Chain A
């Protein structure tokens, strides 16, 4: 009887083990790439209606220049951050109402204001991408509070981007280079971290740029370079994600009802509809509260070399949508239009 050398048996075991690992990894990756909740056509007769553009005319400092952050106040005013290193306040009609900020390091000053959000009491939070801090102002720009510093520890930032406030006044910050979202109390004290750096699995974030809070208190994250929108519960547990791609090399084309290409902004109102700034596809995408595809609208005359729109905001009732079109120095305004159904 032939004897099998021990080393040969060990080699076979190693080969079998490696093959098993490869097969399991392939199955896992296959499943990961297809098992997400994918936006599907809900058949809802809702679409975007184009209302027009704003360019910030009337501002003494000049029209909007590369606007990026946008937020809607409870009274309907619209706040915008732009490359003139300022916050611009516009009425719901688009009329210029005021502005503040300049390039410096003082309390009411900025390095690069990017994210902006407005709390229910009208106070305005602004993220400073360059100075790694958050500033809080009254509705007319009076400085109230500053917090944060550069770094990776809790409460610190590396390029804070999109902001959102929940009904209790807590602030959520998309911490771009730290691949996470941080939650703060209204006084600026650190509360929690949502998500973790990664490319795979629930809760993994890769360069998040936008956040929004749903009417029922869930957090939406525009997980830009994982090409998806993720939902978290109030405790920070990941609960859902939408967007379909393969290994981030597969952004779907503009007509896609299944995925995004670098979704940088997200917003939602009391009607539950979710609006996504699908910047790499140069469009706004409307989703149902569950993440199903409802409609989309391409940005006219968009610059193919610059991803845009960057951020999106919505009126409290969810019926008017505002988006920053950085490459064209303008704000895009859309309405949610319900088409009559034919019996």
Chain B
């Protein structure tokens, strides 16, 4: 939901903006790369990369959506690092896809998920 500022003089800037907007929309429409892999048993903590999470309202939104996953014990959102750390109860069956879905519902594109 965040974009880096681009400063281009008008009027050409507006047309370049159109191209940028179309590119951004196309990238939003593209399906994310399929990632899978059940996380169960010993897998307790997922570190989820979430790019562009600079706004606290959005970061809290990511936390809210991840907290709604089954078996979540805690969610910590690190805005500066652009990541969310989700701790699950033992034996919780959660897939990467469920985590990705939660991040998308919060308005972000999920990145790499690392299990610890």
Q: What is the 8 Å Cβ interface bit string for chain A, positions 92-130, against chain B (1 contact, 0 not)?
A: 000000000000000000001010000000000000011
Question: Which A-chain residue is minimally distant from B81 (CB atoms)?
Answer: A305
Q: Is the CB of A30 within 8 A of B61?
A: no
Q: Mark A155-187, 1 if CB is under 8 A from B, else 0.
A: 000010100000000000000110000000000
Chain B residues near A30 (CB, 8 Å)? Answer: 14
Q: Please tell me if A50 contacts chain B, counting CB pairs below 8 Å.
A: no
Determine whether B42 belongs to the interface, using a CB cutoff of 8 Å to chain A.
no
Given B13, B21, B57, which contacts A224 in the complex, CB threshold below 8 Å? B57
- Chain A interface main SS type: loop
Q: Are A310 and B67 in contact (CB under 8 A)?
A: no
* A176-B61, A177-B61, A251-B3 known; A310-B21 Cβ under 8 A: no
Cβ-defined partner of A306 (8 Å) among B1, B3, B24, B79: B79
How far apart are the CA atoms of A250 and B20 in the complex, in Å? 10
A residues contacting the other copy or chain, number (CB 8 A)? 38
Which listed residue, B54, B55, B67, touches A130 by the CB 8 Å rule? Answer: B67
Tell me, yes or no, whether A330 is within 8 Å of chain B by CB: no
Choose the segment among A13-21, A136-144, A241-249, A315-323 that binds chain B (4+ C-beta atoms closer than 8 Å): A241-249
CA distance A30 to B7 in the complex (A): 18
Given the known A-B contacts A249-B21, A262-B55, A305-B79, are A225 and B1 also in contact in the complex, defined by CB atoms under 8 Å?
A: yes
Q: What is the interface of chain A, defined by CB distance below 8 A to chain B?
A: 26, 29-30, 33, 66, 68, 112, 114, 129-130, 159, 161, 176-177, 207, 209, 224-225, 246-253, 261-262, 264, 279-280, 303, 305-308, 310, 326
Q: A-B pairs with the 10 shortest C-beta distances? A: A247-B21, A305-B80, A246-B17, A307-B55, A307-B54, A251-B5, A306-B79, A209-B57, A326-B56, A249-B20
A sample of 5 cross-chain residue pairs with beta-carbon separation below 8 angstroms, ordered by A number, consists of: A112-B64, A130-B63, A250-B17, A251-B3, A280-B2
B residues sitting closer than 8 Å to A (CB atoms) are 1-3, 5-7, 13-14, 17-18, 20-21, 24, 54-58, 60-61, 63-64, 67, 79-80, 107
